[in-house]
Amino acid sequence: MRTNLSKYHDRDGEAGRQPGRPLGWDSKFRLNRPVLLGFLLAHFILASGSRAAEDAAGCTREMPALEAAAQAKPDSVDAQMALGVKRFRCGQPAAALEPLKIAIQLAPNNSSPYFYLGVSLLALDREEEARNAFKRMAALTPPDDEQLYLLLHGYAKLSSELAERLHEVAPDSYRLLQVEGEFFDAQNRPDLALDKYKLAVQKKPDVASTHYALGSAYWARFRSDEAAPEFRKAIKLSPEHYMARYKLGMILLEQNCPSDAAAELLAALTVQPGLADAHFGLAKALVQQSKPAEALPEVERSIEIDPGREQSHFLRYQILRKLGRDEEAATELARFRELKRSAQGNAPEPNPR
């Protein structure tokens, strides 16, 4: 049965709906409808369709010239952009990252490199980095309510047409099944969403992203025992899949396996040292192993990357107390309470002791 994605796109009353994912570790990755349109559709349609957009012969023929041009003109935004876009469209998202980042460094006010960087990161399941790229792209939009309104609705209509296009060109695609799963999630129909993710895995069991998507869906529903095998399969297929390693590490932490959790979190940080959540999780794993001195720099790195995360401040308070640094612990507790009040609109908060 065909899922009518365009009908959902055009339901203006759904603008404030949240996907059917509960609060928890994965809550920061939850997407509301406007973000869903510009973020997930870009992922599942543009990223998955990139290889089909360029035939193999064309990629083989044109890539050497673009690489030579980018090497000969390292300060050329156009040369770096052309190489990055071509690599993305030829199904090489990882290789596309470097020239696109160079293009951003050369022209930080040009929004195009941010877009292609975002969809390349999404093709690699690096959601948080992609979200940051899109956020920086959005920040370049003039602060004009009329333009923002029209752009938002324009992207919504474009997403609807892209969904129809995907139905036309790839009705049996595993990516289409993933799109449908995300839309059922957005409509708070979790059982139907999981069915779509499972079908995607059945169709493409040798692709890491299908297992990662299914595992993430289980994990967001607190079904960790079912999520863990999917993350392990994703890691087996793509050992540098740091998001799968991070989420598996957090599951192992929940299952009171701090040593195994630390190993996965360290592996994630080896690939992406700027992942604040992994530093936080590693700090918790080290605390569970009675290693507060080793845990302290990890939680401090998490705070350095994401200073507004109140849980990190509370964990630092706990670690400082274990180390007998009571004065610093009191200061950290005050900071935690300040952030908590700010997040809750000055509502009373329980004594963390």
CB 196 within 8 A of CB 176: no
Is residue 16 very low, low, confident or very high in pLDDT (cuts 50, 70, 90)? very low
Out of 58-67, 95-104, 131-140, least confident range:
58-67
What is the pLDDT at residue 58?
Answer: 76
What's the pLDDT tens digit per position in 271-280? 999 999 999 9
Query: CA-CA distance, 351 to 244, in Å (whole number)?
Result: 34
CB 212 within 8 A of CB 231: yes
Rounded CA Rg of the chain = 22
pLDDT averaged over the chain? 83
CB 40 within 8 A of CB 159: no
Rounded to two decimals, the pTM is 0.74
**What's the one-letter identity of residue 274?**
G
CB 189 within 8 A of CB 209: no
What is the pLDDT at residue 344?
Answer: 78
Which residue, among 29, 50, 30, 40, has the nearest Cα to 5 in the 3D structure? 40
Out of 53-57, 127-131, 240-244, 300-304, least confident range:
53-57
What's the pLDDT tens digit per position in 159-211? 888 888 888 888 889 988 988 898 888 888 989 999 999 999 999 999 999 99
Out of 5-9, 22-26, 94-98, least confident range:
22-26
How big is the CA angle at 219 (ends 216 and 221), to the nearest 5 degrees? 115
Q: What is the mean pLDDT of residues 210-229?
A: 94
Who's near 235: CB < 8 A, 6+ residues apart? Answer: 208, 241, 244, 245, 248
Which residue, among 200, 161, 195, has the nearest Cα to 177 in the 3D structure? 200
Q: What is the mean pLDDT of residues 44-59?
A: 55
**What's the one-letter identity of residue 220?**
A
Query: CA-CA distance, 272 to 130, in Å (whole number)?
Result: 13
Is residue 30 very low, low, confident or very high in pLDDT (cuts 50, 70, 90)? very low
Query: CA-CA distance, 315 to 3, in Å (whole number)?
Result: 44
Domains of the chain are 33-140 (1.25.40.10), 239-343 (1.25.40.10)
HEC secondary structure over 135-201:
HHHHHCCCCCHHHHHHHHHHHHHHHHHHHHHHHHHCCCCHHHHHHHHHHHHHCCCHHHHHHHHHHHH
> Is the pLDDT at 11 greater than 80, yes or no?
no
Is residue 121 very low, low, confident or very high in pLDDT (cuts 50, 70, 90)? very high
What is the pLDDT at residue 127?
Answer: 83
What is the pLDDT at residue 3?
Answer: 57
What is the pLDDT at residue 118?
Answer: 93
For residue 12, with 0-12 CB atoms within 10 Å meaning exposed, 13-18 middle and 19 or more buried, which class applies?
exposed
- 294, two tokens: 């080793």
Share of the chain above pLDDT 70, in %: 82
Q: What is the mean pLDDT of residues 80-106?
A: 94
What's the pLDDT tens digit per position in 280-297? 999 999 999 999 999 999
